[in-house]
Structure formats: C-alpha cells, structure tokens
C-alpha cells in the first residue's frame, strides 16, 4: 500500500467520525484509526528492516 492510499484511508476515518452524531461511535472510529496508523508505522519499519537485510 503506498502513502497516498494510506492517507486516503485515514482521511476516510476522519470523514466517518465527523458524520456520526454518537460520541461513542466517533470514539470507536478514532480508536480504529489510531490502530491503523500504528499498524502502518510498524509495517513500514518492518519493510525498511527487510530491505536493509536484503541489501547485505
């Protein structure tokens, strides 16, 4: 997944949260977004580590 796709996906979370009138639903959507951001960061770090290892 490239950076543009990830940015679009994360902005979709913001859009969904803003459309909800229920604070609990907004909180849940933001929690899912935070989880997605963390997973993306960890996968990016893993990808970089694997690239570095493959170049050795």
Indicate the domain borders of the chain.
Answer: 3-54
Total-model pTM: 0.80
Query: In angstroms, how far is CA 20 from the centroid of its own chain?
Result: 20
Q: Note the pLDDT tens digit of each residue in 17-42.
A: 999 999 999 999 999 999 999 999 99
Burial class (CB in 10 A: 0-12, 13-18, 19+), 29: buried
Helix (H, G, I), strand (E, B) or coil at 3: helix
Note the pLDDT of residue 32.
96
- Average model confidence (pLDDT) across the chain: 93
């Amino acid at each position: 997944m490239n950076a543009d796709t990830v940015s679009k996906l994360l902005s979709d979370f913001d859009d969904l949260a803003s459309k909800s009138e229920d604070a609990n639903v907004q909180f849940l959507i933001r929690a899912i977004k935070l989880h997605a951001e963390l997973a993306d960061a960890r996968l990016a770090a893993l990808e970089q580590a694997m690239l570095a290892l493959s170049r050795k």
